[in-house]
Structure 1
Amino acid sequence: MESRNQPLVKAVTVASVGMLTLSACGGNGDGAGGDQAENEYQACMVTDSGDVDDRSFNEAAWDGFLQSSYGNSSIHVDYLVSETHDDFLPNLEQSIANDCDIIFGIGGLIVEDLAEFAAEHPEQDFAIVDGNIDLDNVYSIEFDPSESSFLTGYAAAATSETGTVATWGGMPIGPVTIFMDGYVQGVEYYNEVKNESVDVLGWDPDAQEGTFIDSFEDVESGREVTENFVEEGADVVHSVAGTAGMGTIEVAKETGDVKVVWVDRDGCIALEDACDRILTSSVKNISAAVTKAIDRSYAGGGTDGSYLGDLSNEGVAMSEFHTFDTQVPDDLTIELDKIQSQIITGSLTIDSPARPEQ
């Protein structure tokens, strides 16, 4: 972890998802596919839930596509949106019809469908984000955000004024619960070393049970869950739910005394107008991993293999405190630096059944 007043995660500056210019195409499935020049390359992504403007997971992945496109005029990019599970197969089939050279499945919900589809199309290159598929034609990209969320949980406990914090998720799947496991254990570690008793609402890592809304897009349900937590005394809330997490942002902005731990992207970059309510973020460096996978495939590197992002390789990180920086004591920053080092060296371990295999 870097020193105070320096970003804890090195953010990649990218164009807004609304600026789909140059070779980036607009998600209608007929972008740069079809009659391509011989040296042109088409990289496509299929979301597992919602559009690319979710300020979180999908947007981070799409930013990676844009980076490849802006860096190489021969790389064209496009995406297809899945509203429900029933869209997965048609979108994958449409991507092949669009002459996509590599097709990314974005999210844990699409893993099984992509694995089956990729097995049926061994000559087609694929990649999966937030999953592992053991096929020669699939490049697997995974992260261990239990590590970054452990840090944010410790920070949440240290800055809570009520002695109660909370977390909730979109759906009870591994790529979600791994954040919640780390967050709760970070709070528990704070209690242990400080002899405190900060409570955590919304998740029991031992029972693997907690609060979910069965959606990554239902902002109103996200608001209701957050309001319930606030009524129970929570003043720091870690939402792990993509767009639905905007419900937590809304409550935090309205109350003025609730802080948010954002997910996947640095919330102060993704949600600049809400930065004054975002304590920190548990970041997965999805953009860089996706860009590297596209560029590798374009260069003929193939798709066999995998990538696991963790604290040691900056694949995950706790973001800086941004507007809360002056309110955070120097001692806390020093403690977080030490904890991060302990996690990296293995002297401090985090338990989560959702952690990817090393």
Structure 2
Amino acid sequence: MKRWSVMATVLVLVAALIAGCGANNGNGGNSGNGAANGGTDAGTNAGAGNGAAEEQKRIALVTPEKIGVNPFFTQMEEGLNKAAVEFNFEAKVIESADPSQVEQNLRAAVAEDYDLIITAAFSAVDALAKVAAENPDQPFAIVDSFVDAPNVRSIEFREHEAAYLLGAAAGLATKTNTVGAIVAMDVPLLGKYTSGFGQGLASVNPNAKFLVNYVGSFTDPAKAKELALLQSSQGADFIAGMSAVGDSGVFEAAKEKGFYTSGQDTDRTGEDPERIVLSQLKETDTVVYETAKDFTSGNFTYGGVNYGLKENGVGLTFVTAESSSPLSPFIGQENVDKLKKIRDDIVAGTIEVKNPLAQ
């Protein structure tokens, strides 16, 4: 009887061990119900089954608006997904319905013990500064803004370099010698766009007139369209969209009045190749991918980092990146070749593009 008792005890222990192992086969994280607007898993458990799930890093991306509204944030999600697969970490996107929810969603990500929390845009700056100060041991990163904190990597772009190319393109292509830009707001960050554009324009066409109007919002297509129509009436044959969601209004005006225009952040030329002839690119997918790569490989640093033409963080369609759209005759291959030379000179330092925000 004693022998059977020992065997029974062994069987119970083995069963308990098997049950315990089965219970640990999850992804090690919770569902994120504390987030103001929930979240979506991106690349969750990439590489699971390799026997090292407990060592897998976990990275969260907190966006200040819903994915799909602005290509800027959609690209970030794509970069995170790609990195999750390649570098074997668990990724999650927590979408905010609007910027007021960012602080709550950052706190939710902290509570869920994510190893790195990434957010973006100036609308998230105040929330991140507050949450980062309260959680000094938690690593954070912010894209397209700067937060002065010892546990935050601030990722900024040299937008003025790409804007220089766009301004040069406008200066080479214009037939009326009048070009314009519809800008979301008169704020320092967007001064990098208008200043860079103006420098590029003057470098190739010093006699060209540059019109600038401000919408007063990042989400007002109707006002942006009204201002684009105004610039068209003043003789502008190329009007750059620099108004975020408002750019759709600029595109509508271009279709109605026959002037040429450009988009921002992603390649918008496919929406109307006849009138949207260029796009100033901001490769947010690249910077999120590189940030995740640095973190998972142990090369992550805090403080400011920036991406320009040299790092392929910014660019211009047809010049630094291919497009599925045909090249517009208004721009022309001859001008593209000139712009590629200008791009190379900026990277080499032969051309210096002044940053209006530099001290």
> Same fold, TM exceeding 0.5?
yes
CA contact (8 A) 2:59 2:89 kept: no
Matched residue, 2:26 = none
Equivalences for residues 228-247 of structure 1 within 5 A: 228-247=230-249
Matches of 2:300 and 2:81, distance apart in 1 = 20
Q: Amino acid of the residue matched to residue 62 of structure 2?
A: V
Matched residue, 1:162 = 176
* Aligned-pair CA distance for 1:200: 0.9
* CA offset digits 1:37-75 (Å, max 9, x no partner): 634543323334x43223432222222222223445642
* Aligned-pair CA distance for 1:319: 1.4
Matched residue, 2:281 = 283
Matched residue, 1:7 = none
Matched residue, 1:15 = none
> Which of structures 1 and 2 has the larger relative contact order (alpha carbons within 8 angstroms, sep 6+)?
1
Matched residue, 1:57 = 72
Question: RMSD of the alignment, in Å?
Answer: 2.9
Matched residue, 1:221 = 223
Answer yes or no: is 1:178 the counterpart of 2:188: no
Q: Amino acid of the residue matched to residue 345 of structure 2?
A: Q
Matched residue, 2:290 = 292
Matched residue, 1:4 = none
Matched residue, 1:67 = 82
Matched residue, 1:140 = 154
Matches of 2:147 and 2:185, distance apart in 1 = 21
Matches of 2:172 and 2:67, distance apart in 1 = 34
Matched residue, 1:263 = 264
Matched residue, 1:190 = 204
Q: Amino acid of the residue matched to residue 143 of structure 1?
A: F
Alignment partner of 1:46 out of 62, 71, 85: 62
Structure 1 residues 76 and 198, CA gap change in structure 2 (3 angstroms):
same
Q: Which runs of 5+ in 1 are unaligned?
A: 1-24, 203-210
TM-score (norm 1): 0.77
Matches of 1:244 and 1:212, distance apart in 2 = 11
* Aligned-pair CA distance for 1:126: 0.6
Q: Which runs of 5+ in 2 are unaligned?
A: 1-31, 46-52, 320-324
Matched residue, 2:38 = 29
* Aligned-pair CA distance for 1:125: 1.5
* Aligned-pair CA distance for 1:253: 2.6
CA contact (8 A) 2:129 2:147 kept: yes
Structure 1 residues 41 and 252, CA gap change in structure 2 (3 angstroms):
farther
Matches of 2:351 and 2:41, distance apart in 1 = 48
* CA offset digits 1:241-293 (Å, max 9, x no partner): 222211112222333x221121112223xxx2323322212112211111111
Structure 1 residues 94 and 172, CA gap change in structure 2 (3 angstroms):
farther
CA contact (8 A) 2:261 2:276 kept: yes
Q: Amino acid of the residue matched to residue 350 of structure 1?
A: V
Matches of 2:124 and 2:39, distance apart in 1 = 22
Matches of 1:27 and 1:317, distance apart in 2 = 35
CA contact (8 A) 1:152 1:183 kept: yes
CA contact (8 A) 1:132 1:140 kept: yes
